[in-house]
Amino acid sequence: MNITLRRVYLYLTSLIGLVLVLIGSVQLLNLGLKTYVFTKADDQFYAGPCYEYSRAPIKEGESPRELSKDECDAQRKEERSARRQNQAANSLAFILVGLPVWFYHWGKVKDDKDIPNV
């Protein structure tokens, strides 16, 4: 019974690690495709004006400054770059956590095959 529970644990943990690696890899592939192949895939199309944003609260009676087309394009490009970096960091985190979990537990599964079931 104890060996069976151990095997179930090892297989489930290995599966979780492998799923984390797969999710991270798919996200990185998606990011690469959007960056180099489908370059317009994550472009945002806004018909309205573009306003300056800041983390500081706007004072009462003031309104955000409307940006020129060039400033607006630069702001959107910066936002897209920040989103891509965020997605890359998340993807790498999935892979960096999932790989050791999978390798360690799968190695234990392979070692456990020598132990007969009781």
Report pLDDT digits (tens) over 66-80: 777 788 778 788 888
Judged against a pLDDT cut of 80, whether residue 89 lies above it is answered with yes
Mean pLDDT (the chain, rounded): 83
Report yes or no: 20 and 97 within 8 Å, Cβ to Cβ: yes
Handedness of CA 22, 27, 29, 30 (dihedral sign): positive
**Hey, what are 94's tokens?**
């999935």
| Residue among 100, 104, 96, 95 at smallest CA distance from 10 | 104
Report yes or no: 113 and 14 within 8 Å, Cβ to Cβ: no
Model confidence at 115, pLDDT cuts 50, 70, 90, reads: low
Total number of residues shown for the chain? 118
Most confident of the following: 39-43, 87-91, 106-110: 87-91
pTM (predicted TM-score): 0.72
CA 37 to chain CA centroid, nearest Å: 19
Q: Return the domain boundaries, the chain.
A: 2-112
pLDDT attached to residue 114: 60
